[in-house]
């Protein structure tokens, strides 16, 4: 185990922002995680778990503790029958440090349905259960079978069924009740060989229709269409594309009641766009409101800039590093946007990226 000192974190984040980690270690095996945790515990040093750095804003001062970079690799795939004994399923046991998008690509090539709409999302597989990654009508909650993790409190490895992960919109036990308690080491995905692609969102349906002319699209065609739609919004990491120096969506889409929706419509004089809040019983009577629309209605256009921080020129929901932005500049822009939306609509936007070292 090699512990490095004063390692700059900016290059490990998609924002390209952040000061140094006081200590930094890579873990390629579960045993190295155990050793790194003991090392930090013995010295009373704070620990931060780093995946692909695609959902982080690291402070300019960095992190005064040990950053543990999860690098566990390996994918084991097996075919089995589901509980009913009727339907074939393919289980992928994926180590936490595997690249998420590469795993999606493999599942699509192997014609297994369940995560095709999540193509093009950066980060690691271990990061996906943390905020229940979702896009274009799919969430990892509906494809995860099991999560294996190291419990920092009890110092043992544990496994959670999907129900035990307590998934909801951009939430799980790993970013709420048990925040920073577990290090995910493996995620088991249960996918459907030969299954039909999910096509719920209108802009995705349009993008797919352009290329398949009336016939049922393949999983690969849907995944390719997702990547095209993402790229058009600057939500795909493409070398040299300034709009993707971000952490993706900076704010969560607020979930509101029908009454709140009526008030927002009345105060804006417009009918706001909306999406279903989700299929669970807890979402009955609720709708999801695009934060991008609220931000635009509050006076922020694409390309708005505050110093070197800005709103993406292709998607109002992403804040970007225009080159040389500090974390303080991004936070100042986020506060300006959050205050304006609150003053206009009485809604406090919640930030999506995880703050490190603030
Ligand atoms: C261009 C772009 C587009 C994006 N689009 C989407 C999208 O459509 N939908 C969406 O949901 N997200 C999206 N994101 C956000 C991000 O890609 C996901 O949240 C991703 O899953 C984060 O994974 P990561 O490995 O990069 O985690 P990191 O950013 O490294 O960490 C994020 C959080 O997860 C924790 N974490 C990471 N790995 C582990 C682990 N192994 N064990 C325990 N905790 C861990 C960290 O401690 C931190 O709290 C986007 C980001 C970008 C830059």
pTM of the model: 0.95
Q: Which of 53, 76, 37 is nearest to 187 (CA)?
A: 76
Q: How far is the CA of 133 from the centre of ligand 1 (A)?
A: 8
Say what the pLDDT of residue 270 is.
87
Q: Is 70 in the pocket of ligand 1 (CB under 6 A)?
A: yes
Virtual torsion, Cα 228, 200, 130, 258, nearest 10 deg: 120
- Output the CA 123–ligand 1 centroid distance in Å: 5
Please identify which residue in the block is written with the tokens 């909801």: 168
Ligand 1 atom at minimum distance from 235 CA: 1
Atom of ligand 1 nearest to the CA of 55: 29
CB of residue 50 inside a 6 A radius of ligand 1: yes
Nearest by Cα to 171 from 294, 278, 315: 278
- Beta strand 4-8 with 75-81: parallel, antiparallel or unpaired? unpaired
Q: For residue 279, what pLDDT is reported?
A: 64
- Confirm or reject: Cβ of 13 under 6 Å from ligand 1: no
Catalytic residues: 170, 249, 352
Q: Confirm or reject: Cβ of 244 under 6 Å from ligand 1.
A: yes
Among 20, 26, 19, 32, CA closest to 3: 26
Pocket test for ligand 1, best of 29, 101, 127, 129 (most atoms within 8 A of CB): 127
Instruction: With beta carbons less than 8 A apart as the criterion, state whether 316 and 343 touch.
Output: no
Give the residue from 159, 139, 36 showing the smallest Cα distance to 93: 159
pLDDT value of residue 275: 80
Contact 322, 300 (CB under 8 A): no
Give, for all 358 residues of the chain, the pLDDT tens digit.
899 999 999 999 999 999 999 999 999 999 999 999 999 999 999 999 999 999 999 999 999 999 999 999 999 999 999 989 989 999 999 999 999 999 999 999 999 999 999 999 999 999 999 999 999 989 999 999 999 999 999 999 999 999 999 999 899 999 999 999 999 999 999 999 999 999 988 889 999 988 887 788 999 999 999 999 999 999 999 998 988 899 999 999 999 998 888 889 888 888 889 887 776 677 778 888 999 999 999 999 999 999 999 999 999 999 999 999 999 999 999 999 999 999 999 999 999 999 999 9
Secondary structure in 3-state letters for the chain: CCCEEEEECHHHCCCCCCCEEEEEEEECCHHHHHHHHHHHHHHCCCEEEECCCCCEEECCCCEEEEEEEECCCCEEEEEEECCCCCCEEEEEEEECCCEHHHHHHHHHHCCEECCHHHCCCCCEHHHCCCCCCEECCEEHHHCEEEEEEEECCCCEEEEEECHHHCCECCECHHHCCCCCCEEEEEEEEEEEECCCCCCCCHHHHHHHHHHHCCCCCCHHHHHHHHHHHHHHCCCCCCCCCHHHCEEEECECCCEEEHHHHHHHHHHHCCCCCCEECCCCHHHCCEEECCHHHHHHHCCCCCCCEECCEEECCCCCCEEEECCCCCHHHHHHHHHHHHHHHHHHHCCCCCECCEEECC
**Which atom of ligand 1 lies closest to the CA of 125?**
25
Of the candidates 269, 258, 236, the one whose C-alpha atom is nearest the C-alpha of residue 344 is: 269
Whether residue 183 has its Cβ less than 6 Å from ligand 1: yes
What pLDDT sits at residue 274? 86
């Amino acid at each position: 185990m090699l512990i490095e000192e004063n390692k700059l974190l900016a290059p490990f984040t998609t924002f390209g922002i952040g000061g140094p980690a006081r200590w930094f270690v890579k873990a390629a095996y579960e045993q190295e995680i155990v050793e790194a945790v003991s090392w930090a515990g013995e010295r009373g040093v704070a620990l931060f778990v780093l995946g692909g750095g695609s959902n982080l804003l690291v402070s300019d001062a960095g992190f005064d503790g040990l950053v543990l970079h999860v690098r566990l690799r390996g994918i084991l795939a097996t075919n089995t029958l589901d509980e009913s004994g009727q339907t074939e399923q393919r289980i992928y046991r994926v180590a936490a440090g595997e690249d998420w998008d590469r795993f999606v690509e493999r599942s699509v090539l192997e014609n297994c349905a369940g995560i095709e709409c999540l193509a093009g999302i950066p980060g690691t597989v271990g990061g996906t259960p943390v905020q229940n990654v979702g896009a274009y009508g799919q969430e990892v909650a509906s494809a995860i079978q099991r999560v294996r993790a190291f419990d920092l409190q009890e110092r043992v490895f544990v496994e959670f069924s999907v129900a035990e992960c307590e998934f909801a919109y951009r939430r799980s036990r790993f970013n709420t009740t048990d925040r920073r308690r577990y290090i995910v080491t493996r995620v088991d995905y249960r996918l459907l060989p030969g299954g039909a692609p999910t096509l719920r969102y209108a802009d995705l349906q349009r993008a797919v229709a352009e290329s398949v002319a009336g016939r049922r699209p393949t999983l690969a065609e849907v995944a390719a269409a997702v990547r095209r739609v993402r790229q058009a919004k600057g939500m795909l990491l493409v070398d040299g594309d300034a709009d993707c120096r971000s952490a993706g969506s900076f704010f969560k889409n607020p979930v509101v009641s029908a009454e709140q929706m009526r008030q927002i419509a009345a105060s804006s004089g417009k009918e706001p766009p909306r999406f279903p809040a989700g299929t669970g019983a807890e979402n009955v009577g609720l709708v999801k409101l695009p934060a991008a629309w609220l931000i635009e209605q509050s006076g922020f256009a694409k390309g708005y800039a505050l110093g070197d921080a800005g709103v993406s020129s292709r998607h109002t929901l992403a804040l970007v590093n225009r080159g040389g932005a500090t974390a303080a500049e991004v936070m100042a822009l986020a506060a300006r946007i959050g205050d304006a939306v609150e003053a206009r609509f009485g809604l406090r936007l919640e930030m999506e990226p995880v703050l490190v070292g603030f």
